Amino acid sequence: MPVSDLERDTCSIARTVALLGDRWMLVIIRQAFAGIRRFEQLQSTLGISSALLSDRLARLVAAGVLDKHPYVDARRTRHEYRLTDRGMQLYPVLQALRVWGDEHLAPDGPFMLYTHRGCGGVAQVELTCGDCGDALTARDILPLPGPGMPPGGPIALSGTRS
């Protein structure tokens, strides 16, 4: 199935995965959050080819996740890539990946602690109910069609209505 089918899937998980489900996209966004925003910095810290990096940056700019800004360095105009508001809103995705990795892929404990500047506590990701505030797991969730669902029901990943 081509990526374009996933992009049209009637599921916000599938659409987001179609956009970001590539190891480079997410680590480039991680670098942007860490203040590593210039093409040369990204290339040297990621060990990625110039062509691959250009491609992924162009996709992230087209998706409105990063904005391209010129700056002058040694009299040459270069570019840096800053997170837009839309990009900033991806922080919970990175933190949810981090929480899982800390638990399952970091046998000696977390590499980094993401602490609250206010009180020094460690950040956590919680799935909660927007009404009653209860902490939720997958077992507590009942998926129901939302306002964006087409009248004929969901269009499955394979392109047929399920």
Residues 67-106 that bind its own copies (CB under 8 A): 86, 88-106
Which residue, 72 or 131, has its beta carbon nearer to its own copies?
Answer: 131
Pick from 10, 53, 57, 80: which binds its own copies (CB under 8 A)?
A: 10
In whole angstroms, how close is the CB of 75 to its own copies at the nearest point? 28
Count other Cβ atoms within 10 Å, centred on residue 32.
Answer: 22
In whole angstroms, how close is the CB of 55 to its own copies at the nearest point? 15
- What is the size of the binding site for its own copies (CB under 8 A)? 97
CA 46 – CA 50 distance, rounded (Å): 11
Q: Does 53 bind its own copies (CB under 8 A)?
A: no
Judge contact between 51 and 57, C-beta under 8 A.
no
In whole angstroms, how close is the CB of 27 to its own copies at the nearest point? 6
What are the φ/ψ torsions at residue 81 (nearest 5 degrees)?
A: -120, 115
Judge contact between 79 and 69, C-beta under 8 A.
yes
Sign of CA dihedral 87, 111, 134, 148: positive
In whole angstroms, how close is the CB of 143 to its own copies at the nearest point? 5
Pick from 72, 108, 151, 152: which binds its own copies (CB under 8 A)?
A: 108
Q: Does 61 bind its own copies (CB under 8 A)?
A: no
The residues near 143 (Cβ < 8 Å, ≥ 6 apart) are none
